[in-house]
Structure 1
């Protein structure tokens, strides 16, 4: 083990972090840029909103299937191998998407893109945990937050601009050269920072994990379709997913070398952090999907104007991240997370009153407040949770957190879409002539308001859990030397 400690001194941290953060930025940009384009894609590819949602869902589904095995991949392959594989998938997927002639082709491209992101995210978090000592980790995670939050923030605005002046294909052509640059940069500077232990592969665990997480994500995502929750496909997929997950958990607990080490759940602050992230992710992704839809279809703004209105909030969130990281290092999580969740809840509560007459200022101020609140919760809860884990559980802890983030995203968007659909439907059932186009926007508005009420309720649950947060005192500050 001593050799790793000596090598740690020789590792050039900065180039490794730049390569990972640049790739992460482009990956996250692609993930949200498409949200603003959904309305345009529906017309261009002649698809319904439910079908269009699959472009986001398939992405999340792929992440939900691949991220759980990332703990195993981090132990079987070198940092360099994983980085090159991740960027190769991202480049191929982005190129295919840019050249897509049809919906089916674009869907396959999104899956390939997601394979790249699924390898990159755990690699990024694990690298930070290995390279950065615990007492400086808040600030480092803040930098990740800056990158990971500014990308989704600028995504919709740039996408809106590209759609108005060029075509939706340019959402994919634009990031392609940056991905190639990141790959070349990484090939020159990326070093191996973890030991390759080559644990045995348990194929049955991989199968259970794939069917389990895949079934749950697929089931919830299908709930946004026309038949909603009464669709047998939805209930069967969720049931199969849950049964597989129960078997997966049982198998992991009884194995010597589990695929995903669930001993991480013995650490209470890790569990509290996980619940915070889960709720936060559900709320963010639900709001990120519904708000652009409403701005374009309920208030008739262009894709570019909708993206522009969401830009200040996203930028504020990104810029707040490093500050929150430093405050976390100084004061711990509680004094950030509780006020943060209170701000999120109040912002969502006001959003539940959005209507066609709501002003641009109303939307920008509320969205910015929502994003400030989220920046106070996300990184502190995540870093505090991971800090409580012993070194050998880092790859598993990050795999668990990243997996549940994807599941939360799929569940959040699915519930939001189905609540929105149900709200619109109940409005149309209450009027005399539901066929009259005059009722369409009021019905859509009621659906969107119901979705925001649901998000508010979720945040209040998170706020109650936040009172159990305690600061973790890390007992292994000398990561490099000990490893």
Structure 2
């Protein structure tokens, strides 16, 4: 490990520990979206509605959102190898359950267990990266990490489309199982520990409040448009109340004990801006990724394989640009990437509002490539600047918060677009509109709402600094005297806790 760290300090190569964690993270996060193309197949095989079937993706993301807040505490108290072992073994168990699931309920259980393992991997990767990679090389290394945290979800529909063309949806899990097992074995042979674990008890009340709070919020949203709006509204309100209790409890624990999620990370303005930008970007990405397969297969009659091939160029472009984006960030900073990226995301989503039953496929491919390239230009600077604005002892909490909001935003986006699409289609069908045209109009409206939300990206991109200027990085002075003082107080309080 010492040789690896020496190399990265000289800017020569990425440490082995990061390479191994990127490989494992790619495999587990790939499963976040691998079931999207399988939704039409599940509706037939397991006799469920489209609203129910989309929970194979929403349940995965929601479980991660409820679990990731625990990882900030967890990663500070176990070794790197132990965290890796637990995460991958839980993921393998969930994959095996899903592969042999006899019913939709059991399939959801498998997806929930899968997500429990996946939830640890991204914070583990990000925390380790911020610990072992110096600030001047983070853009390059983070560009490679983009392959795992953004390209894997983008490639999920492509891979699932290829598999579903020749086999059952169960093969999506059966094929992943041996690959994940091999990655786990390889990692355990070569992975070394980074840092020393700390001691401290977990606050189970916080775990319950976080899980039920985020769960109620997204579940309530997904029920809008299915009839009486009063019940979903109550569920959403309950979720918001539980999240508020969770936040209040963390603020108290910061003074009297060990918080599950240290909210002092929000004292860093750059981190907070990055948090908002990332959340909206993932909302837009997941919303489009759930709508496109439904449009292509249900309205245009394409097969899962054809659907996967159509979105493949966008996924490949995103992956190939990752390292280049990282190098540009290291040389020129983040604004030259994030501002055009935010504009591109908004333009692509606005373009999708013009879909029709006869729009040329090359237009859809161009819009999807624009969306994926714009997201690639956005993610690397946002993650690097956001975490770089924090002191090192808060890296694990910062990466946990990023992961939590990322999954909540993705689940929110999925539930939002499906709810809007279904509600609009139901309303138009009730007025005597042709069902095909009604669903098409519902999709246009859902893309329009996503495009409107994406305008927030442009605002936050303009406000984001060009480089990390926190007192903890290597970019120069503090963002302001108050920011430096707040960070110093946070460090003193953490040591006192």
Q: TM-score, normalised by structure 2?
A: 0.89
Say whether 1:445 aligns with 2:433.
Answer: no
- Counterparts of 2:129 and 2:144 in 1: how far apart (Å)? 10
Q: How much does 1:126 deviate?
A: 0.8
In the other structure, the counterpart of 2:282 is 281
| C-alpha distance after superposition, 1:402-427 (max 9, x if no partner) | 00011111111111111111221332
Say whether 1:235 aligns with 2:236.
Answer: no
Say whether 1:469 aligns with 2:464.
Answer: yes
1:421-460 maps to which residues of 2 (within 5 A)?
421-431=422-432, 434=433, 439-460=434-455
| C-alpha distance after superposition, 1:137-191 (max 9, x if no partner) | 1111110112333323332222122212121111111111111111111111111
What is the aligned counterpart of 1:245 among 223, 243, 246? 243
**Preserved CA contact (<8 Å) 2:32 2:61:** no
- Counterparts of 2:338 and 2:4 in 1: how far apart (Å)? 37
1:400-419 maps to which residues of 2 (within 5 A)?
400-419=401-420
| C-alpha distance after superposition, 1:256-288 (max 9, x if no partner) | 322111111111110110010010011000000
Query: Which piece of structure 1 moves more, 37-46 or 13-22?
Result: 13-22
Q: How much does 1:475 deviate?
A: 4.2
Say whether 1:102 aligns with 2:103.
Answer: yes
Say whether 1:359 aligns with 2:355.
Answer: no
In the other structure, the counterpart of 1:120 is 121
Q: Which runs of 5+ in 2 are unaligned?
A: 475-497
In the other structure, the counterpart of 1:481 is none
In the other structure, the counterpart of 2:174 is 173
In the other structure, the counterpart of 1:37 is 38
**Preserved CA contact (<8 Å) 2:277 2:456:** no
Say whether 1:226 aligns with 2:222.
Answer: no
Q: Which runs of 5+ in 1 are unaligned?
A: 479-483
- Counterparts of 1:148 and 1:406 in 2: how far apart (Å)? 11
1:19-418 maps to which residues of 2 (within 5 A)?
19-223=20-224, 226-227=226-227, 230-232=229-231, 234-255=232-253, 256=255, 257-418=258-419
| C-alpha distance after superposition, 1:291-316 (max 9, x if no partner) | 11100011111111011100000110
Change (3 A) 1:108 1:37: same
- Counterparts of 1:158 and 1:25 in 2: how far apart (Å)? 13
Aligned-CA RMSD value: 2.1
Q: How much does 1:10 deviate?
A: 11
**Preserved CA contact (<8 Å) 1:276 1:466:** yes
Change (3 A) 1:388 1:477: closer
- Counterparts of 2:98 and 2:201 in 1: how far apart (Å)? 35
Q: How much does 1:207 deviate?
A: 2.3
| C-alpha distance after superposition, 1:443-477 (max 9, x if no partner) | 11100000111111011122122221113225445
Q: How much does 1:13 deviate?
A: 6.5
Q: How much does 1:195 deviate?
A: 1.7
Query: Which piece of structure 1 moves more, 453-462 or 242-251?
Result: 242-251
Q: How much does 1:251 deviate?
A: 1.9
Query: Which piece of structure 1 moves more, 145-154 or 237-246?
Result: 145-154
- Counterparts of 2:259 and 2:75 in 1: how far apart (Å)? 14
Q: How much does 1:56 deviate?
A: 1.2
- Counterparts of 2:365 and 2:421 in 1: how far apart (Å)? 22
Change (3 A) 1:475 1:136: farther
Secondary structure of 1:384 counterpart: helix
- Counterparts of 2:5 and 2:20 in 1: how far apart (Å)? 18
**Preserved CA contact (<8 Å) 1:100 1:106:** yes
- Counterparts of 2:196 and 2:223 in 1: how far apart (Å)? 41
Q: TM-score, normalised by structure 1?
A: 0.92
Change (3 A) 1:148 1:264: closer
Change (3 A) 1:203 1:126: same
